[in-house]
Structure 1
Amino acid sequence: MIVAEVVRSGFVESVHHGIVAFTSGDGVGDVESPFFPRSSSKPLQTVGMLNCGLVPREEADLALMSGSHDGEKFHVERAREMLAAVGLGPDALRCIPDLPLGESSRKAWLRSGGEPEPILMNCSGKHAGMLATCVVNGWPLDSYLDPKHPLQVALAETVAELAGEPVAATGVDGCGAPVLAISPRGLALAFRRLVEAEPGTPEQRVADAMRGFPALVAGTGTDDTVLMTAVPGLLVKKGADGVAAAAMPGVGAVAVKISDGAARARTPVLLAALRRLGVAVPPMDEVVLGGGRPVGEVRAVL
């Protein structure tokens, strides 16, 4: 069993159990039952948009569409440009108004007197891509988040195809878009298919864009960005509620779900799983602070 222990001043104060699926066939916990992968499924949805005929302005846009950005200036500007390229403005977005996800960007925005806006929401890149795909196909814009909308039907078909299993349920994600339930095993398989796809395919284009522009996937200094920058070829995408997926061409893929949804347990377990695959990842275990100084750590235990 892979778990994450939270150790404070030498005392184990909590333990978080992880469900881990490997494409090698083994796993930890229940890797066959469906769950909502949250934002870890964004790259799969981006593949679906390309399958629907989306032509991005440049490949870097695919990274923002597949990411959960921190709301830094370069994130927000790119989302605006993606919308403007198809004749739309931020008012077309149906994601919820929000503040920047990244702490420094959020503080700067609030100091300037700013308020929550849809364009600042960490999923605005995905929503901009969805709207652009609708424009290309002449599909309705106001209802693009409806699970029965042609766009969402097509994206669900793509997710099922990549995961190698049917979508078990359709829910509503935090941003208001449909979120599709698949198994941890299916998520890992889908990520492996992204990194091992033939050149020029939608799958390979999305993987290459994310690895080529990792700061657009997350933000400056965030886990996804640091890992993809430090390990050439590695594809990583985290999601809410303790979810993460990663894949390395020629090596395999892994999907992680922390059972209790603890976000701070996600990275240590993901790193342990990647090391088990033989991927040399940098040390990124989370430090536990007390009184502003390190007093413990969150560590993976096999």
Structure 2
Amino acid sequence: MDQSTKPIHVYRGKYIESAHDVHIAVVSAKGDLLAYYGDPVRQTFARSSMKPFQALPVVETGAMEAYNLTERELSLFCASHIGEPYHRESVMEVLGKINLPEDKLQCGTHIPKDTESYKRLVQSGGELTPVYSNCSGKHSGMLAGVAQQGMDVDTYHELSHPYQQQIIDGIANVSGYEREKIMTSVDGCGLPVHRMPLYYNALMFARLAAPDKWTDGTSERQSALGRIRDAMTSYPEMVAGTDQFDTDLMKAYEGRIVAKGGAEAVHCFGDRETGIGVALKISDGNPRATTAASMEVLQQLGIGNEKIFADLDDYHYVPVKNMRKEKIGEVKPVFKLNRI
């Protein structure tokens, strides 16, 4: 297949070396499909893009108040953080508040994206522990919600656990997608991950960004969504970290955009002003094309201004660099949304 016909090009010099397909859904909080590219109902595991909705029970059960948890910590519950010191310290503070040890985190561990933290750990002779996992914030939030309800804290990660069933109930409610149609598998951190059409992921982010525009949502659920949105946009550094797209995107838009990426090249965001939600998936799972696609959607929808787009330009036209850190190409989106 001619790579030039694909929607996202990867240039080496002036030549297209590789290309990526993308599927996009743009949806209003009322549920109208406003624009799309590719297959807007592609069945998709949204992966970590679902974290804001996995945080619903910790808000709705009163665990935030019961354990004196902060809005900054709530943002962390929605995070795929890079393991910077303040991320790890915050997770440990949450565990201290709920009086549970680190080994109750069922997220496993991995080398953090913050390489400086990992270097210091190795130099000190330390070992990786669960707090370094990019999902440790989400897991600590779940433990708070589980503990508040007196549920079993050892099996909270299992699909059959009542807390995971509460999460599925919330996802079904916010998305409007039939609960029995939500398929599940296992995410990288051991928790259930949810498979549904891309359109419904976009709808969820529309309602996260502008819950007041979700006309048939309950006031309690609207309030919880608004609280999660405000936590993420007020403390965007907790959601990802230094020089990370979600953090920089939310900072640049100063609270207007709420965003969360997921593994295998998923990205979702919602616009507080218009009530528009967007979900996209790069078909081959390569994350290098994700930011370019999201920025192109924002530009085509007219969400933002020249300063914002200038500040985020390296996420839109992503530099391809050699080992000398010299720019020798770029990732460039070339698609046009189909408007409805």
Say yes or no: TM over 0.5: yes
After TM superposition, the runs of 4+ consecutive aligned structure 1 residues lying more than 4 A away are none
After TM superposition, the structure 1 stretch with the greater mean CA deviation from structure 2, 281-290 or 249-258, is 281-290
Q: Which amino acid aligns with 2:127?
A: E
Residue 251 of structure 2 is matched in structure 1 by 229
Q: Which amino acid aligns with 1:221?
A: D
Write the deviation string for residues 189-246 of structure 1: whole angstroms up to 9, x where unpaired: 1011011124981100000000000000000111111111011211111111000001
Gaps of 5+ in 2: 213-218, 336-340
Report deviation, 1:73.
Answer: 0.5
Q: Does 1:116 align with 2:128?
A: yes
User: Contact (CA 8 Å) 2:57, 2:145: kept in 1 or not?
Assistant: no
Question: Which of 231, 238, 246 is 2:269 aligned to?
Answer: 246
Q: Which amino acid aligns with 2:115?
A: E
Q: Does 1:161 align with 2:193?
A: no
SS at match of 2:107: coil
Residue 196 of structure 1 is matched in structure 2 by 210
Aligned pairs for 1:49-128 within 5 A: 49-55=58-64, 57-128=69-140
Q: Which has the larger radius of gyration?
A: 2
Question: Which of 239, 264, 278 is 1:217 aligned to?
Answer: 239
Aligned-partner Cα distance in 1 for 2:27–2:71? 28
Aligned-partner Cα distance in 2 for 1:297–1:11? 10
Aligned-partner Cα distance in 1 for 2:6–2:167? 32
Change (3 A) 1:86 1:209: same
Change (3 A) 1:138 1:31: same
Normalised to the residue count of structure 1, the TM-score between the two structures is 0.95
Residue 230 of structure 2 is matched in structure 1 by 208
Report deviation, 1:2.
Answer: 7.4
Q: Which amino acid aligns with 2:243?
A: G
Q: Which amino acid aligns with 2:202?
A: A
Q: Which amino acid aligns with 1:215?
A: E
User: Contact (CA 8 Å) 1:72, 1:105: kept in 2 or not?
Assistant: yes
Gaps of 5+ in 1: none
Normalised to the residue count of structure 2, the TM-score between the two structures is 0.85
Residue 297 of structure 1 is matched in structure 2 by 330
User: Contact (CA 8 Å) 2:6, 2:19: kept in 1 or not?
Assistant: no
Q: Which amino acid aligns with 2:49?
A: S
Residue 290 of structure 2 is matched in structure 1 by 266
Residue 16 of structure 1 is matched in structure 2 by 20
% identical aligned pairs: 35
Q: Which amino acid aligns with 2:19?
A: V
Q: Which amino acid aligns with 1:32?
A: V
Residue 9 of structure 2 is matched in structure 1 by 5
User: Contact (CA 8 Å) 1:244, 1:257: kept in 2 or not?
Assistant: yes
After TM superposition, the structure 1 stretch with the greater mean CA deviation from structure 2, 100-109 or 70-79, is 100-109
Report deviation, 1:130.
Answer: 0.6
Change (3 A) 1:146 1:291: closer
Aligned-partner Cα distance in 1 for 2:106–2:60? 22
Aligned-partner Cα distance in 1 for 2:277–2:253? 14
Q: Which amino acid aligns with 2:99?
A: G
Q: Which amino acid aligns with 1:75?
A: H
Aligned-partner Cα distance in 2 for 1:3–1:48? 38
SS at match of 1:145: coil
Aligned-partner Cα distance in 2 for 1:87–1:69? 23
Write the deviation string for residues 64-116 of structure 1: whole angstroms up to 9, x where unpaired: 00010010010000001111101111011111122222233333333333322
After TM superposition, the structure 1 stretch with the greater mean CA deviation from structure 2, 135-144 or 156-165, is 156-165
After TM superposition, the structure 1 stretch with the greater mean CA deviation from structure 2, 49-58 or 141-150, is 49-58
Change (3 A) 1:120 1:30: same
Write the deviation string for residues 110-155 of structure 1: whole angstroms up to 9, x where unpaired: 3333322111100000000111111100000111011111100000
Aligned-partner Cα distance in 1 for 2:327–2:120? 26
After TM superposition, the structure 1 stretch with the greater mean CA deviation from structure 2, 209-218 or 50-59, is 50-59
Q: Does 1:275 align with 2:279?
A: no
User: Contact (CA 8 Å) 1:66, 1:210: kept in 2 or not?
Assistant: yes
